[in-house]
Structure 1
Amino acid sequence: MTDRVIVYPGQIPQVEHVLESNRNMQDAISSVLRLTMNSQGVAGFDATPNSPAGMSVVLSAGTLCTSAPVDPSAYSTLASDSTSIFKAASYAGGTITGFTAPGTTGQTRKIIIHASFQETDTTAAQLPYYDSVTGQSTLGASQNTRRIQRAVVGITSGSSTTTGNETIPATPAGAIPLYVVTLTYGQSTITAAHIERHPNNLFVPYDLMDLKTAIRPKLTADLMTYVSPSGNNSNDGLSARTPKLTVQNVIDTASKTYDFNGFHCIINCAAGTYTVGAAFVNKPLGGTGQFDWVVQGNETTPSNVVFNVANGNCFVAAYGAGVQIRGVRMLATGTPTVYNSIGYGILAFGSAYVDTYACDFGACGHTHVNAADGSIVNFASTNYRISGGSQYHAVATGSGRVLNVVTTVTVSAAVTFGGAFVCATTGGNVVIYSNTFTNPGNVSGKRYSAESCGNIQVNGNSATYLPGSVAGTSVTGGNYY
């Protein structure tokens, strides 16, 4: 909906009429972005090595969408307006330099490429004004004549450290992470193998400049796709003979190609180890948000299908995405920071919904399962296995919910949880009862932590119901009941 300024015949137009029309158009564009994006996101910004190869990366043109004030400063005669709306900023493309390899043998460094929204006044000029005394035109002082919105790309380098211990540096406040470039000692060229999407990237699963929904084929049945550790992302992924390499490439391709029309994309994972995780962001076109995506491993022997992601996450579901994860083993290294959420088996935020079936949770740097910001992770009343430790097995935060009811949980090895087996904080809820814990003596660490108005519902079970070697705690309004 676009508000319009009314001007009448014979009326002397005011400068505010033009300015308010510009603002109204900006609000209309914001509404379209909100309907299309529903959240922060980027499109384009494709990264490729420079040619000839060197220590630089070429980024294609892109669009960044984020929330920002209507006008952070006065817009000519209109006062500033801090109301937050969606805005889009363009990036013309360019070559990114400044990458430096470690200078010590045996060391590795990770560097992130990120984009930020920037709004500036520019194009200064001396403008003609009417002089009411002389009745003639006169030039005033130099003034800016354009307010532009651009995406500004930069890099942030991590510390050089012993190979295998390198971590992704924190993303600067207000920036959106795009890529991670990994460099080792003595490296003088960057190839495609050194560039990967940041684990917390917000790439939308379609091109904002190419929403040609009218010509997208509508699914009339579930879409069967295939991945394999020996696959290739240039394959179509539509048969076991032509599998793609990564789940992420299936997501990106299917989201751009199809109208889901209420059906699902089944991603069949061949046996083996996958070293790249997957991020499900927003609902696909025609999706319902109820399990538009199904990651299908081996529910009988989940250890045959392994997602082992270094300094990242196995699976991320965000902003209304709906995912089922079935019969896989998850391992993830990394310690999260304020701007870097890594080390999770499953991380759900922004009202996403995830069901897990018959999975195996191996060692994770931070948490096996985390539900945040109104998201739900449901163990779907199916039996599953814990074969490795982490800081937490399950965390619910920010009105997120973890549902774990009527399951058999087999702890197949000695594991330690440095924080607690389950944790509910800042209004999060963990519902966990009617479970059978096999080999609970294998678990070391605190049984539970209910804090900051978080709730752990065990349906009246005792304080020793959950596995662990240390008594649980309830503090600052947390409840265990």
Structure 2
Amino acid sequence: MDAPIRLILYDFRNETSVSIKGYFMDRTIVYPGAIPLDTDILNINRNVLIGIGALNAAVFGTGVVADGLECSPTVPPSLTVSVAPGSITQYGSVDPNAYGSLAADLSEQTVKTGINLDPVTFTLAAPSSSGQSVNYLIEATFSETDTLPVVLPYVNAANPSVPYSGPNNSGGAQNTMRIERVQLQVKPGAAAMAGTQPTPAVDAGWVGLYVVTVNYGQSALTAADITTLPTAPFLSFKLPQLRPGFSAMQVFEQSGSFTVPAGVTQVKVRAIGGGGGAGYHATLPGAGGGQGGMAMDIITGLTPGQVIPVTVGAGGISPASPGSGGGGGTSSFGTFLSASGGGGGQGGTATLFATAGGAGGIGQGARIIQGGAMGSDGITVACRGGDGGGDGRGRGGSGPVVGFAATGFGGGGGGGGTTIGGSNPVGSPGGQGAPGLIVVAY
């Protein structure tokens, strides 16, 4: 460890002291026959505290981390909730107050853990006005206090066989234990009409864990009344479940929103735009639609509970009467990144040698972007429609066969063929483009 402390050693014979700069994983040396000092034990305790704190910092970082502390209704049902045993890990001064004969250490910081082995209960009250509800915030912080006062025996230098009672034979009690706990408190919000009641703000130096909602006339709480705050710093994984990289995934096949889970600050997003629809020409094979573009990146700096809109681009349509296919829609993840849809394949009634395939879409706003494959042109001499662009594309129809719709995300639709032989060929409708996709891994 590279964070130093200073130990003050006192030489009783020469009545001098020497300051020694040490490190937190140093160990105290004692010798047979030497006069034992209280600092021998106090420094061991402090060094163990700091050594474990350094390990916690390496594992959890220096942010607040909570574990356990599950909140549930009591049994039998009432307006009382119970917060189960658990712990909170928090960064702070090594010793904000003097520790026995060791001076306070405010300059050095470490990660300290408060542990509750017993549940803590809170009794709540329902609002007094009809139709109202109230939100109660349960918040936590690390607490360190000196307690367990005892009248200790002291050495009587004048008569060692008769010890003093307390310091200087005062008979006064002294605290004998510095305890580290999870301090919990409940904070009521203002009652308001149900659905509009505010949740109290988290106090400085505390972290919010739960919100408990109580309605007018309610006499017993259920689990449905207790909500974990998205910003609560609970551990997302325990070591046996921990896997490298991104271990969970949410797939959007239609538009919606992504709520950043508790404990998550970065996500890996892949966006695919919708595929273009195929063209439908009156006398020629229709052209295939283009493939949607792709964008992929890791997005950092997110906040648990943050809501991000997700748009999934629709597949382009193929017209029911001669005309060009519709373009695919753009897929986007908030304002972070997007992927445009593929262009529609050419169709219509104009005199052409061949119909042109739709252009591919393109990714935007990401470190990895890719253009979609273009749709194939209609093949007049073979009376065959052009294939759609990309994976899962729709195949073009041959002869008087309609084009096939795309089956893969972002694929373009296949163009319809034309009748074979004769002086008045007739084209066929094309296939639809496939919708896009958003994949969020965290």
- 2:70 alignment partner in structure 1: 46
Match of 1:259 among 230, 240, 243: 243
Q: Give the distance between the partners of 2:271 and 2:338, measured in 1 at CA.
A: 18
- 1:182 alignment partner in structure 2: 213
> Could you tell me the TM-score, scaled by structure 1's length?
0.50
- 2:156 alignment partner in structure 1: 131
Q: Give the distance between the partners of 2:263 and 2:155, measured in 1 at CA.
A: 54
Match of 1:205 among 229, 236, 244: 236
What's the offset of the Cα at 1:380? 3.5
Question: CA 1:103–1:174 in structure 2 vs 1: closer, same or farther (change >3 Å)?
Answer: same
Question: CA 1:122–1:299 in structure 2 vs 1: closer, same or farther (change >3 Å)?
Answer: farther
- 2:136 alignment partner in structure 1: 111
Q: Give the distance between the partners of 1:117 and 1:91, measured in 2 at CA.
A: 11
- 1:281 alignment partner in structure 2: 263
Check whether the contact 1:296–1:327 (CA below 8 A) recurs between aligned residues.
no
Alignment of 1:39-78 (within 5 A): 39-78=63-102
Check whether the contact 1:108–1:163 (CA below 8 A) recurs between aligned residues.
yes
CA deviation vs aligned residue, 1:325-380 (integer Å, no higher than 9, x gap): 79359xxxxxxxxxxxxxxxxxxxxxxxxxxx94476xxxxxxx8xxxxxxxxx23
Q: Give the distance between the partners of 2:183 and 2:308, measured in 1 at CA.
A: 36
- 2:190 alignment partner in structure 1: 159
SS of equivalent to 1:24:
helix
What's the offset of the Cα at 1:404? 8.8
SS of equivalent to 1:42:
strand
Q: Give the distance between the partners of 1:264 and 1:25, measured in 2 at CA.
A: 34
What's the offset of the Cα at 1:76? 1.0
Check whether the contact 1:269–1:295 (CA below 8 A) recurs between aligned residues.
no
Check whether the contact 1:113–1:153 (CA below 8 A) recurs between aligned residues.
yes
- 2:302 alignment partner in structure 1: 317
Higher strand share: 1
Runs of 4+ more than 4 Å apart: 269-274, 293-301, 323-326, 381-384, 403-407
- 2:55 alignment partner in structure 1: 32
Question: CA 1:25–1:328 in structure 2 vs 1: closer, same or farther (change >3 Å)?
Answer: farther
Check whether the contact 2:332–2:338 (CA below 8 A) recurs between aligned residues.
no
Q: Give the distance between the partners of 1:94 and 1:105, measured in 2 at CA.
A: 33
Question: CA 1:273–1:381 in structure 2 vs 1: closer, same or farther (change >3 Å)?
Answer: closer
**2:166 corresponds to 1:143:** no
- 1:80 alignment partner in structure 2: 104
Q: Give the distance between the partners of 2:237 and 2:368, measured in 1 at CA.
A: 39
The alignment yields a C-alpha RMSD, in angstroms, of: 3.6
What's the offset of the Cα at 1:99? 1.2
Quick check: which has more Rg, 1 or 2?
Answer: 2
Check whether the contact 1:113–1:179 (CA below 8 A) recurs between aligned residues.
yes
In the alignment, residue 40 of structure 1 is paired with which amino acid?
Answer: V
In the alignment, residue 261 of structure 2 is paired with which amino acid?
Answer: A
What's the offset of the Cα at 1:298? 8.7
Identity of aligned residues (%): 29
What's the offset of the Cα at 1:148? 0.5
What's the offset of the Cα at 1:119? 0.8
Q: Give the distance between the partners of 1:380 and 1:358, measured in 2 at CA.
A: 9
CA deviation vs aligned residue, 1:452-480 (integer Å, no higher than 9, x gap): xxxxxxxxxxxxxxxxxxxxxxxxxxxxx
Relative contact order: is structure 1 or structure 2 higher (C-alpha 8 Å, sep ≥ 6)?
A: 2
In the alignment, residue 22 of structure 1 is paired with which amino acid?
Answer: N
What's the offset of the Cα at 1:41? 1.1
- 1:327 alignment partner in structure 2: 310
- 1:9 alignment partner in structure 2: 32
SS of equivalent to 1:147:
strand
Check whether the contact 2:254–2:311 (CA below 8 A) recurs between aligned residues.
no
> Which structure 2 segments of 5+ residues have no match?
2-24, 167-171, 276-299, 313-329, 342-364, 370-442
Alignment of 1:219-368 (within 5 A): 257-260=241-244, 262=245, 264-269=247-252, 277-281=259-263, 293-294=267-268, 300=274, 317=302, 327-328=310-311, 358-359=331-332
Question: CA 1:159–1:56 in structure 2 vs 1: closer, same or farther (change >3 Å)?
Answer: same
Q: Give the distance between the partners of 1:202 and 1:11, measured in 2 at CA.
A: 48
Check whether the contact 1:55–1:100 (CA below 8 A) recurs between aligned residues.
yes
In the alignment, residue 56 of structure 2 is paired with which amino acid?
Answer: L
Q: Give the distance between the partners of 1:327 and 1:59, measured in 2 at CA.
A: 36
What's the offset of the Cα at 1:296? 7.6
Check whether the contact 1:281–1:317 (CA below 8 A) recurs between aligned residues.
no
Check whether the contact 2:80–2:221 (CA below 8 A) recurs between aligned residues.
yes
In the alignment, residue 34 of structure 1 is paired with which amino acid?
Answer: A
Question: CA 1:278–1:182 in structure 2 vs 1: closer, same or farther (change >3 Å)?
Answer: farther
- 1:474 alignment partner in structure 2: none
Q: Give the distance between the partners of 1:358 and 1:280, measured in 2 at CA.
A: 25
Check whether the contact 1:110–1:182 (CA below 8 A) recurs between aligned residues.
yes
Check whether the contact 1:56–1:190 (CA below 8 A) recurs between aligned residues.
yes
CA deviation vs aligned residue, 1:118-158 (integer Å, no higher than 9, x gap): 11111111111111111222221211110010112110010
Q: Give the distance between the partners of 1:44 and 1:20, measured in 2 at CA.
A: 31
SS of equivalent to 1:73:
coil
- 1:414 alignment partner in structure 2: none
SS of equivalent to 1:121:
strand
Alignment of 1:162-173 (within 5 A): 162-173=193-204
CA deviation vs aligned residue, 1:219-243 (integer Å, no higher than 9, x gap): xxxxxxxxxxxxxxxxxxxxxxxxx
> Could you tell me the TM-score, scaled by structure 2's length?
0.54
Q: Give the distance between the partners of 1:158 and 1:296, measured in 2 at CA.
A: 40
